[in-house]
Amino acid sequence: MKAMQSLREFSRRDRVFDFLVQAEPPALDLSHNIILYLEGINKSFDGFKAINDLNLYIESGELRCIIGPNGAGKSTMMDIITGKTRPDTGQAWFGQRLNLLEMDEPEIAEAGIGRKFQKPTVFENLSVFQNLELAMSQDKRVWPLLMARLNGEQRDLIDEVLTTIGLNQLASDPAGKLSHGQKQWLEIGMLLMQKPALLLVDEPVAGMTHQEMDRTAELLTSLAGKHSVVVVEHDMDFVRSIARKVTVLHQGSVLAEGSMAEVQSDPRVVEVYLGE
């Protein structure tokens, strides 16, 4: 009897089988104004808990600074967001719909998360322009790449980014010849070429001169609003100069969150980080 029923269920004419439903093309859904959800994330390396029940929410369009002493789990957190490392437990969502834990590195990059590394890694043998051209969001399969020609729109985009990062004059120079600060800007420019919704910026001013630092602060604040920007930085002066909201990480979880003034007056924060 039961078998009959399930057979009837099976043969209903209006039945739609799961495998026939086309997977909805995943798109970034920002309906709740939150671009990144990290919930209950744990990750340990050989028994060392790098991330410990981390909960973090980034709003769309915000500029967030993340600070914390060495070993607080900042880089591991970035690795988890970009798909380089898988957490042991927890959830990571990009907008409402995209589950970051089910995507690999290129997919995450394609979905709109760009990462700037601590050490600037630009393609030294290619020109500044070519670096940007490669970083452009485009069809990156083999055959389309072979056939790709630079069109006017793309050229305009590259010129626009060149202006933003201030490397107009150096467009045809090999990236290997740039100064340290210029390389950092080029990296940020390469991120911008992907038109990312979320920018992860790892220690952008390490090793920069003061002028370069000011220039970088200007650049990052100008990007917020159009993009969501997460900056991990050690340099407190720099953080003070750009931060609207600061998150303090300690031993793999969030210790405090708020404006720079609030965070600085938090006794726990003072103890682990600022008071040193």
Partner 1 sequence: MLLMKVLKNDKPGIWLLGILLVISIAVPILNLLVPESSPFHISTYTVTLLGKYLTYALLAVSADLVWGYLGILTLGHAAFFALGGYVMGMYLMRQIGERGVYGDPLLPDFMVFLSWQELPWFWQGFDQFWFAALMIMLVPGILAYVFGYLAFRSRVTGVYLSIITQALTYALMLAFFRNEMGFGGNNGLTDFKDILGFDLRADSTRIALFLASAVALAIGYVLSRIIVSSRLGLASVAIRDAESRSRFIGYRVENIKLWVFVFSAMMAGVAGALYVPQVGIINPGEFSPLNSIELIIWVAIGGRGTLYGAVIGALLVNYSKTYFTAALPEIWLYALGAMFILVTLYLPKGIVGLQLQSLRNLRIVRMVRKIRGAKV
Which residues contribute to the site for partner 1 (CB under 8 A)?
Answer: 82, 105-106, 109-110, 115, 117, 121-126, 130, 133-135, 137, 140-142, 145-148, 190, 194
Task: Please state the closest distance from residue 214 (CB atom) to partner 1, in A.
Answer: 27
Q: How far is the CB of 210 from partner 1 (least distance, A)?
A: 28
Give the nearer residue to partner 1 in terms of CB position, either 34 or 126. Answer: 126
Shortest CB 75 distance to partner 1, Å: 14
Residue closer to partner 1 by CB (options 84, 97) is 84
Q: Helix (H, G, I), strand (E, B), or coil: what is residue 157?
A: helix
Residue 205 token pair:
């001013």
In 3D space, the residue among 167, 82, 180, 154 whose CA is nearest the CA of residue 128 turns out to be 167
- The rounded distance, in Å, linking the Cα atoms of 215 and 211 is 6
Q: What is the DSSP string of 78-129?
A: HHHHHTSS--SEEEEEETTTEEGGG--HHHHHHHTEEEE-SS----TTSBHH
| 40 or 106: CB nearest partner 1 | 106
Question: Least CB distance from residue 147 to partner 1, whole Å?
Answer: 7
Burial 248-260 (b: 16+ CB within 10 A, else e): bbbebbbbbbeeb
Q: What 8-state DSSP symbol labels residue 34?
A: E
CB of 190 or CB of 256, closer to partner 1: 190
To the nearest whole angstrom, how small is the minimum distance from the Cβ of residue 196 to partner 1?
11
Return the number of the residue (119 or 268) whose C-beta is nearest partner 1. 119
